[in-house]
Chain A
Amino acid sequence: MRLFKSSGGAQVSVTPEVVRPRQTVTATVIAAKAIDKVSAATVEWGYTNFYRYRWAGRADSAAVQMNDSWWMIGEVGTDAGSEKDTEDWVGVTKVELPVAGGEFSGGSSSFTVPSWAPGSSEVIARWSARLTIERGGRDVDARGDFAVVIGSDNIQVTDEPQQRTGGDGETDVDIVLPSLTYRAGETIYGSIVLTPHADMSDGEIVIYWGHRLISHPLVRTPAIGGGGKSGPTIKLGKGIPLRSGTPVTVPFAVPLPEDAPPTAEAVHSSLVWFLQATLHYSKWTQGIEQVRRRIAVVNAQ
């Protein structure tokens, strides 16, 4: 029966499977058997970008602000679940494959990964070559994936000033790093310099790594909450005397995970890495000091 005769489909394989920016990959398309009635066959190189967006109405509308009014305290927030994960295709190059007399039997295409390519990870981007065969009958779609790994020479890092995320600044907490770029699996050796401006109670200091996905879609409303992950909290010292005019230096070693996703900037989202240090004063009325320092993480030698 003609109606149920399958077109056989096609397979896309990409070699090599792991590349760096500025290197070339080749996709080989193999049709199980010749595909007929073909009008066009294209391979599009690009990546699937993961991000979060707000699907439920305007974020700052009067109706949403009502959830935050005092007479709604104790009620279940109705804004929960208004943001969700999604993905969009970002095409870089489109290549036409040769079709002879309406029949397609295979082909290949090469692609040089651009220098600005975001690194592959399940957090932000999946690179692939997508095959689309337009034909009289069901179109054929296939995809071959490859991974882009980022080396320290693929990104240029500019030092961003350290950010204070908590506390009154009665003690300056400076995260001192020998370098700003680290490889996945590497241990970050650095030190924290504590400079009290007044006599404070003894301090306890902890540090951890974290990364965060910042969504900035072209069309949809970006989500405020994003995917993120932080590492285990590492205790660096307890009972550190904090007296005015006597700075204290505390060394630290923070191991990064082996499968750390690389720092990246894509069209719809960006992945940022940071180290966050928190100083707790032993006298609880004095509170905490918290700072965040941006770093860059790569995953190739």
Chain B
Amino acid sequence: MTAVPPLDPNEPPPPQRGLTREERGRDVSEAQAEAEAETSKVKQYLGAMSPKFVLSQADGYPVVIKQFLQFCLILIYPAWVFGVLVGAAIHLLFYVTIYPVLWLLFWPVRAWQKKNNPEEYEATRQKYAKKK
């Protein structure tokens, strides 16, 4: 909004400002970023179960609080693994039961889109092909 008027030659240059949350991007630990960067879903779930990932959930906390949280995370580790496995099972269940039904149900919609908007259809296909 405000542009600074031209500098005086004998004044110090303005100090560099920092970045806002939006400018910084996602704020996650290194272990989590690695797991999220995996392209295969199976590897993503395995990554979320790794002790490194679980311990990194306490990253960014001040010292002492971080170690206490890591201690708590170790205590709940079996429950964490169980939770991730249940999540993966629900994910799989969705793709073998509900997804094929939806796929069949929306066949006419896709066929119509392919016929009438071929460019848009291809663009959407490309977009989801890249995500996998």
Contacts and interface: CB of A to CB of B under 8 A. Distances in A.
A296 B11 contact: no
Given A60-B27, A155-B2, A22 B8 contact: yes
Contacts of A158: 1-3
A57 interface: yes
Nearest to B20: A216
Interface string B15-46: 11111110110111100100000000000000
Contacts of A217: 18
A57 B5 contact: no
B12 A92 contact: yes
Interface stretch (B55-63, B108-116, B117-125): B55-63
Contact of B59 (A58, A92, A116): A58
| Consensus secondary structure, chain B interface | loop
Contact of B32 (A62, A219, A224, A263): A62
Given A57-B57, A57-B61, A61-B28, A216 B12 contact: no
A93 interface: yes
B29 A61 contact: yes
Given A265-B17, A267-B16, A58 B28 contact: yes
Given A62-B48, A216-B23, A221-B60, A157 B11 contact: no
Considering residues B8, B21, B23, B69, which has the most beta carbons from chain A within 10 angstroms of its beta carbon?
B21
Interface residues of B, number: 36
A114 interface: yes
Considering residues B1, B2, B16, B57, which has the most beta carbons from chain A within 10 angstroms of its beta carbon?
B2
A75 interface: no
A57 B11 contact: no
B72 to A, nearest CB: 11
Nearest to A46: B15
A116 B1 contact: no
Contact of B1 (A55, A63, A154, A296): A296
A218 B18 contact: yes
Interface in B66-104: 69
Interface string A49-65: 00000111111111100
A219 to B, nearest CB: 8
Nearest to B53: A62
A57 B59 CA distance: 6
A267 B18 contact: yes
Interface of A: 22, 54-63, 90, 92-93, 112, 114-116, 154-158, 160, 214-219, 221-224, 263-268, 270, 272, 294, 296
Interface of B: 1-8, 10-12, 14-21, 23-24, 26-29, 32, 48, 53, 56-62, 69
16 contacts: A55-B61, A55-B62, A60-B27, A61-B32, A62-B32, A62-B53, A116-B7, A116-B14, A155-B2, A156-B3, A158-B3, A222-B18, A222-B21, A224-B21, A263-B2, A296-B2
